Structure 1
Amino acid sequence: MLELVNFSSVPGFLLIFVRLTAFFATVPIFSYRNIPNQFKIGAAFFLSWIMFYTMDIPVLLFDELFILLLVKEALIGLLLGLIAYIILVTVQVAGGFIDFQMGFAIANVIDPQTGAQSPLMGQYFYTIALLFLLTVNGHHLLINGIFYSYQTLPIDKLYSLGDESFVQFIMELFNRMFLIAFQLSIPIVGCLFLVDVAMGIVARTVPQLNVFVVGIPLKILVALVALFVFMGMYVVLVKNIFELMIKSMESLMQILGGT
């Protein structure tokens, strides 16, 4: 029985397992706190086992180079998952813009997935985005992304993160993230800005009216109506966010791989 086991491939399997485990630690849906750690480790193990028999695993030794390869695989998995998570957090940033105009900026809620505070409308947008992601099998695309990453980033090579193209990619990614967040929030924020202008005119023409008492409920009502009207556009923008997520993961792999 021992003769059937090729122990020379064990280091290669460990490298695959480390990349997948690090990926599941940061990628959306799989990294959330309400998913047991045993499930994350088990899913990473079985996916690593499947990938182990679909790739040509080079013969590696347990030496100093192997330790560097382990660190490299962990960084690649963390970066790929983190890129996907940062892009998905765009909807929470957009919700923060809307909450500030609605007067809900102080009413933050605890995100059960991450344990951090998030804007009220941001959490609403984020929940819809997650449901849409599961509906279109976006989590399968994320797993496909980490699977095909081994074609661009083999496990037996080291890569550099100090390249100028990598820094430029991160800056452009954050730029596009805030741009998409602005596009998500501008319809509702624009409507609330017009409400502020109207309330300013009323305050000048009718000084006896307390605009602070009337303005806050009015802004909440207008924001909810605008949210109902622009919800179709929001779904289209969320689809663009998913496309950007996959393309960003591919771009990151190409930059790290030097292609």
Structure 2
Amino acid sequence: MNELIPHLTVFLLVLVRVSAFFVTVPFFSYRTIPAQVKITLALVLAWMMYYTLDVEPFVFNDEYILLVMKEALVGLLLGLVGYIIMSAIQIAGSFIDFQMGFAIANIIDPQTGAQSPLIGQFFNMLAFLLLLAIDGHHMILNGIYYSYQLLPMDQFPQFAKESYIQFIITTFTAVFAIAFQMAAPVVATLFLVDLALGITAKTVPQLNIFVVGFPIKIGVSFLVMFTMIAVMIQVIQKLITIMIYGIRDLMAVLGGG
């Protein structure tokens, strides 16, 4: 019976990292998942991970409080990196909505509770289904499980290293590059449509170009997205892969790798 009851000091550290990870990481942090399910999953996962760790019990003192704060920070950072990378979908949707004229019609994203563009919401749901289809949620759980190999429980992260700053710059660059790749077909096509409408407005002044141009731009945008949907799915799948690798690379950087 004693073997089934973990040491409280070690179990608490595992639970803090897993719980903080679930607060920010995509899919597990969505509001549509009940809080009771998140808490239960964090408890069960922390209890299972405890028996895979070869760590001596800690003593309740000032250093242990610092370890608890460190575990919470590490869990939040790992999940936040995944959220930032997946936010490229929202950025791409904002680019497209701005060109289509849908920027004034943002809606509430039920997953995150934040304002979301219409096309970005469509891409977000597509990424959510694709994440489940390729077992991305299992890879996310693998990330928090193997985080103890790259960043042990009794080791503090290294934020002052040059590789940490380089990782942040590289991550943000990749996010905007992928967002531009997703939005480029629609944005480039709408630029040509705007150019054609501008020429039409000069040649036919009697035509109300604002009334005619709005439905034309919407129709062309949906046609381009329907044509390029296969490419966009591949880009979203690449984005999910980058998210998994980004979480792993952050663990390696914080662990001194």
TM-score bracket, shorter-length normalisation: over 0.9
Residue in 2 aligned with 1:21? 19
Counterpart of 2:143 in structure 1 is: 145
Aligned match of 1:49: 47
CA distance in 2, matches of 1:9, 1:157: 19
Work out the CA distance in 1 between the residues paired with 2:135 and 2:230. 20
Structure 1 length as normaliser, TM-score?
0.96
Note closer, same or farther for the CA distance 1:223–1:59 as it changes in structure 2 (3 Å cut).
same
Q: Secondary structure at the match of 2:102?
A: coil
Change (3 A) 1:194 1:8: closer
CA shift, 1:250, in A, is 1.1
- 8 Å contact from structure 2 (residues 25, 82) kept in 1: yes
Match of 2:123 in 1: 125
Q: State how far apart, in whole Å, the 2-side matches of 1:45 and 1:7 are.
A: 13
Report how far residue 8 of structure 1 moved: 8.4
- Structure 1 counterpart of 2:58: 60
Partner of residue 98, structure 1: 96
Q: Name the CA distance, whole Å, in 2 between partners of 1:89 and 1:130.
A: 12
Structure 1 partner of 2:208 = 210
> 2:22–2:79: 8 Å Cα contact kept in structure 1?
yes
C-alpha distance in structure 2 between counterparts of 1:132 and 1:6, whole Å:
37
Q: How many Å separate the matches in 2 of 1:210 and 1:8?
A: 73
1:158 to 156, 159, 181: 156
CA deviations over 1:175-196 (Å, ceiling 9, x no partner): 1101100000000011100000
Contact 2:16/2:71 (CA < 8 Å) preserved in 1?
yes
Q: Matches of 1:164 and 1:171 in 2, distance apart?
A: 11
Determine the C-alpha separation between the residues in 1 that align with 2:89 and 2:223. 19
User: Unpaired runs of 5+ in structure 2?
Assistant: none
Any unmatched runs of 5+ in structure 1? none
Tell me what 1:245 maps to. Answer: 243
Deviation sequence 1:5-62 (CA, Å, 0-9, x none): 6988321111000000000111111111121212111101100111111121222111
Please give the alpha-carbon distance, in whole angstroms, between the structure 1 residues aligned to 2:5 and 2:116. 47
Distance in 2, Cα, partners of 1:241 & 1:178: 11
Q: Deviations over 1:85-133 (max 9, x none)?
A: 1111111110000000000000000001111111010001000000100
1:181 corresponding residue in structure 2: 179
How big is the alpha-carbon RMSD for the aligned residues of Structure 1 and Structure 2? 1.4
DSSP-derived class of the 2:53 partner: coil
Contact 1:58 1:156 in 2 (8 A): no
- TM-score, length basis structure 2: 0.97
For residues 70 and 60 of structure 1, what CA distance do their matches in structure 2 show? 11
Does the 8 Å contact 1:8/1:59 carry over to 2?
Answer: no
Contact in 1 for aligned 2:158/2:253 (Cα 8 Å):
no
Q: Which amino acid aligns with 1:69?
A: L
Query: Aligned pair in 2 of structure 1 residues 30, 7: CA closer, same or farther (>3 Å)?
Result: closer
In 2, the alpha carbon distance for the partners of 1:27 and 1:254 equals: 18
DSSP 3-state at the match of 2:130: helix
Matched letter for residue 35 of structure 1: I
Q: How high is the sequence identity, in percent, across the aligned residues?
A: 53
Is the alpha carbon distance of 1:68 and 1:6 closer, same or farther for their aligned partners in structure 2, counting shifts above 3 Å? Answer: farther
Indicate conservation of the 8 Å contact 1:9/1:58, yes or no: no
User: Structure 1 pair 235/6, CA: closer, same or farther in 2 (3 Å)?
Assistant: closer
CA distance 1:236–1:6, shift in 2 (3 Å): closer
**Residue correspondences, number:** 257
- Whether contact under 8 Å (1:9, 1:57) holds in the other structure is no
CA gap of 1:209–1:39, structure 2 versus 1, over 3 A, is same
